[in-house]
């Protein structure tokens, strides 16, 4: 992530973002929401595939630990505050017709955004992510609890310079099948090198409340947008049982509920494990639901 990305000034702060695909297209745009301590590159393989199909894709680099522009102490550095950044990003680029695709902590942030405005986008795809009181799952609940402490955060993120630790269950070992050492090392750099980013991340972690998310997840039954679940089958953090339970919350305006699609040979970071399968499901879902609107 050596090169700077374009920056947009939003009411809740400045963020970087990446774009892929044609600027002039009749196909609906796609917005991708990543989780904690990852950046836009989590979604890059999928975004590039969808760009080849003609979609314009947007990936905001959210202030969740791998960001390079400090959020700052005056910001609402909570999951709900992050959801406001997401909604402001969608509004700034006039992306209300978009399909929003979320993963990991980004799934929780998306739920907070839908709780505030259940129609700020046109359709949603949830991949493996937090829901109910699983926010975050083990072993990350313990690890994040330790990282909330000022004296512990820097040594903990510095320990991720060691590939053996970084690719262990305390790093990304549970999250994807074949980690790229360069990518996994670079997402920790902002936390390792910038005290302001560490301060942002500590503030965010201190605002995480499993009980609050459980309440918000239950309210997702009120969301009548088209919703699809594209879930990595081999995930030990966000299991199939958890994903299906989350999907059952959505009944939809037509009463059909949310379709649940399993992706074989994929874990939490399903977009890196099986990008072609994920891109195909997103494209199909977007096309199907767009066609329904034209009937």
DSSP 210-247: HHHHHHHHHHGGG--S-EEEEEETT-SSS-HHHHHHHH
Lowest mean pLDDT among 102-116, 145-159, 181-195, 199-213: 145-159
Confidence of residue 118 (pLDDT cuts 50, 70, 90): very high
- pLDDT value at position 254? 56
Lowest mean pLDDT among 76-85, 99-108, 250-259: 250-259
Mean pLDDT confidence for 24-36: 97
Cα–Cα distances in angstroms (integers) from residue 174 to residues 3, 41, 119, in the given order: 29, 18, 33
In this structure, are residues 169 and 146 in contact, taking their beta carbons and an 8 Å threshold?
Answer: no
- pLDDT value at position 255? 55
For 182, residues 6+ apart whose C-beta sits below 8 A from its C-beta are none
- pLDDT value at position 21? 98
* DSSP class of 134: B
Is the pLDDT score of 137 beyond 90?
no
- What is the percentage of the chain residues whose pLDDT exceeds 70? 96
> Rounded to the nearest 5°, which phi and psi values hold at 15?
-135, 155
- What is the percentage of the chain residues whose pLDDT exceeds 90? 86
Dihedral, 288, 289, 290, 291 alpha carbons, nearest 10: 50
Lowest mean pLDDT among 58-67, 102-111, 165-174: 165-174
Each residue of 240-295: pLDDT tens digit?
999 999 999 998 655 567 999 999 999 999 999 999 999 999 999 999 998 887 76
Q: Which H/E stretch holds residue 17?
A: strand 13-20
Is the pLDDT score of 148 beyond 90?
no
Is the pLDDT score of 236 beyond 60?
yes
Specify the 3-state DSSP secondary structure of 119: coil
Mean pLDDT confidence for 62-84: 97
Give the distance between the most distant pair of CA atoms in the chain: 59
- pLDDT value at position 252? 67
- pLDDT value at position 134? 96
Q: Name the H helices within the chain.
A: 44-52, 79-92, 105-116, 140-147, 150-158, 163-166, 181-186, 189-193, 195-206, 210-219, 240-247, 270-273, 275-294
Is the pLDDT score of 85 beyond 60?
yes
- pLDDT value at position 220? 97
Cα dihedral across residues 109, 114, 119, 125: positive or negative: positive
Q: Provide the CB-side half-sphere exposure for 36 (13 A, CA).
A: 28
pLDDT, averaged across the chain:
94
């Amino acid at each position: 992530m050596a090169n700077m990305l374009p920056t947009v000034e939003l009411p809740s702060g400045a963020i970087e973002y990446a774009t892929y695909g044609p600027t002039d297209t009749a196909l609906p745009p796609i917005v991708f929401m990543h989780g904690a301590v990852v950046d836009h590159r989590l979604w890059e393989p999928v975004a590039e595939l969808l760009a080849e199909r003609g979609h314009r894709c947007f990936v905001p680099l959210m202030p969740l630990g791998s960001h390079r522009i400090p959020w700052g102490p005056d910001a609402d550095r909570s999951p709900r505050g992050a959801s406001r950044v997401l909604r402001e990003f969608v509004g700034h680029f006039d992306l209300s017709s978009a399909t929003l695709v979320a993963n990991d902590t980004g799934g929780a942030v998306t739920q907070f955004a839908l709780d505030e405005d259940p129609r700020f986008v046109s359709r949603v795809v949830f991949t493996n992510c937090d829901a109910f009181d699983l926010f975050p799952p083990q072993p990350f609940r313990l690890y994040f609890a330790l990282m909330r402490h000022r004296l512990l955060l820097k040594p903990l993120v510095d320990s991720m310079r060691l590939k053996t630790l970084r690719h262990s269950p305390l790093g990304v070992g549970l999250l994807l099948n074949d980690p790229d050492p360069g990518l996994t090392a670079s997402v920790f750099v902002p936390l390792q090198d910038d005290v302001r980013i560490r301060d942002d991340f500590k503030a965010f972690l201190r605002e995480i409340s499993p009980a609050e998310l459980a309440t918000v997840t239950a309210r997702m039954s009120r969301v009548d947008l088209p919703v699809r679940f594209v879930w990595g089958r081999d995930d030990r953090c966000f299991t199939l049982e958890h994903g299906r339970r989350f999907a059952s919350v959505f009944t939809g305006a037509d009463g059909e509920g949310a379709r649940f699609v399993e992706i074989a040979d994929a874990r939490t970071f399903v977009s890196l494990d099986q990008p072609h399968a994920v891109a195909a499901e997103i494209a199909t879902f977007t096309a199907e639901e767009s066609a329904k609107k034209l009937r």
